[in-house]
Amino acid sequence: MREVVFDTETTGLDPRSGDRMVEIGCVEMVNRVETGNTFHAYFNPQRDMPAGAQAVHGLSSDFLADKPLFAEVGQALLDFLGDAPLVAHNAGFDFGFLNCELEIAELEAVCTSRMIDTVALARKKHPGAKLSLDALCSRYGVDRSHRVKHGALLDAELLAQVYVELTGGRQIGLELASEAASATNVFSLPTSYMPPENRREARPHSASAEELARHQEFISQIKSPLWGK
């Protein structure tokens, strides 16, 4: 099954009040295994960047000034998304900005029935726990040491790992590993893996008569054993 994990960076919190999307990062997964295919783009929001937003993601108006408008990239983004389910953290926020930009560009909106919200998954699995991406990375041992500021593609990559853990752990894709590897060449088996033809036969789990006799001879030499008291 193909899924796309994505994240956005914006100028603020409300697209209906004039805030715009300035970055999107998407990570493709097949059977919960990352394929290596990604989509990443910055956008010129055609407005100033509030200091509070810039403090979060580090994207300045000067940096974004020569980036394309969303309308120039929107169709390529839709082509990448295809009809796959879309995974995001606090997905309503990201879907809101995505569909607002699609509307401005006069492109077809993405149906919210495709939405998979990892905040909702985490709340159900860990009620009362912290639900931020940082907190979930810590819980599941996902390395986020290189996350100095928010970045759409980096956060999507981290979220992809968290999503796998939230939905059953890394072992869920093992039986489909061959299929994923042939399609993407990114899945590799552990170095300890041994092909079936090279495996040793299982050792019998019961002691032989000779082993029992040797054991009895050994313990008979122990003076004042604890089990004899």
Spot the catalytic one: 40, 126, 146, 150: 150
Tokens linked to 92: 């309503």
- Report DSSP letters for the chain, one per residue: -EEEEEEEEESSS-GGGT--EEEEEEEEEETTEEEEEEEEEE---SS---HHHHHHH---HHHHTTSPPHHHHHHHHHHHHTT--EEETTHHHHHHHHHHHHHHTT-PPPPGGGEEEHHHHHHHHSTTS--SHHHHHHHHT---TT-SS--HHHHHHHHHHHHHHHTT-GGGGGGGHHHHHHHHS-----TT---GGGPPPPPPSS--HHHHHHHHHHHHT-SS-GGG-
Tokens linked to 72: 């120039």
Active site annotation includes 126: no
Give catalytic residues, as residue numbers. Answer: 150
